[in-house]
Amino acid sequence: MADTHTATEPARRGGRPPLSESRKDEIRLEIAIAAVRLFTAQGLDGTSVAQIADAAGIATRTLWRYFPSKEACAAPLLSFGLDRFTSYVRDWPADRPLSEAADDTRWFSDASPTRLLLVIDLLRLTHTEPLLDAVWSRCYSEAVAPLAAVLGERLGRPGDDLRVKVKASMLLAAMHQGLRHYVCRAPGEHGLSVEDTIRTAARIGLAAAEAPDV
């Protein structure tokens, strides 16, 4: 009997259906939340991959499919906020100044408060954990191109234009420094709330992103 399968229609294999990309992203974020909680409580060295997997409710071998190292497990928690911010800038009305977006902070206030607190805990850990600091830096570096594409569309320029990439970098740096400023305050030191600190930093960065070129 002739084979009924063609080159474009491979035979189906048994087993569970593959996970969707959105479900994979959810799993990565669940792992990240579990990892940062453990890093905060036990430190990076005191936390094992097996502990992270157990806290996330998955097998250790499954965790290794998603991340190359235990410190890399923290990345999705950072990327989630950066992606959300980029999407918010993209959707901001073209007829309104970009700096006004700083006062409409749903891009972080609508997210889980737990996630924001975990990001703050993670940023505190970067002061003493160089490997986590490297993860933080890599996430910010990888966020430049997507944000530059969004800004370029708004400004009528290619996303790979040097001026646009510098503006995107400046905007991300403003957000980064705002969070750094908040977590570096001395215990008991009075200052802006985390929400107002993010808002202030965003206002500075967004105004600079939309300012005319020098």
pLDDT over 70 (residue 7): no
66 and 144, same domain (yes or no): no
> Which DSSP string corresponds to 176-212?
HHHHHHHHTSPTT-----HHHHHHHHHHHHHHHHHSP
CA distance 41 to 149: 38
Confidence of residue 184 (pLDDT cuts 50, 70, 90): confident
pLDDT in tens, 112-169: 667 888 988 998 999 899 999 999 999 989 999 999 999 999 999 999 999 999 999 9
Residue 37 belongs to domain spanning: 21-73
Is 3 within the bounds of a domain? no
pTM (2 d.p.):
0.81
CA distance 8 to 163: 46
Is 131 or 213 the better-scoring residue by pLDDT?
131
The pLDDT of 31-56, averaged and rounded, is: 96
120 and 189, same domain (yes or no): yes
User: pLDDT at position 75, please?
Assistant: 95
182 CB-contact burial (10 Å; exposed 0-12 / middle 13-18 / buried 19+)? buried
101 CB-contact burial (10 Å; exposed 0-12 / middle 13-18 / buried 19+)? buried
| Number of domain units in the chain | 2
User: pLDDT at position 109, please?
Assistant: 63
86 and 62, same domain (yes or no): no
pLDDT over 60 (residue 3): no
Q: Give the pair of three-digit tokens for residue 1.
A: 């009997």
| CATH code (residue 137) | 1.10.357.10
pLDDT in tens, 60-117: 999 999 999 999 999 998 888 888 889 989 999 989 998 888 887 676 665 566 788 8
Is 188 or 162 the better-scoring residue by pLDDT?
162
Query: Tokens 């370029």 map to which residue?
Result: 152
The pLDDT of 190-194, averaged and rounded, is: 85
CA distance 38 to 61: 19
Is 8 or 148 the better-scoring residue by pLDDT?
148
Q: Give the pair of three-digit tokens for residue 87.
A: 């999407």
Is 101 or 213 the better-scoring residue by pLDDT?
101
User: pLDDT at position 17, please?
Assistant: 67
User: pLDDT at position 126, please?
Assistant: 92
Is 6 within the bounds of a domain? no
Q: DSSP assignment, residue 53?
A: H
The pLDDT of 182-188, averaged and rounded, is: 82
**Would residue 43 be called left, alpha or beta, if left means φ above 0 and alpha means ψ between -120 and 50 degrees?**
left
CA distance 175 to 105: 13
94 and 28, same domain (yes or no): no
The pLDDT of 164-192, averaged and rounded, is: 89
Is 40 within the bounds of a domain? yes
Confidence of residue 4 (pLDDT cuts 50, 70, 90): very low
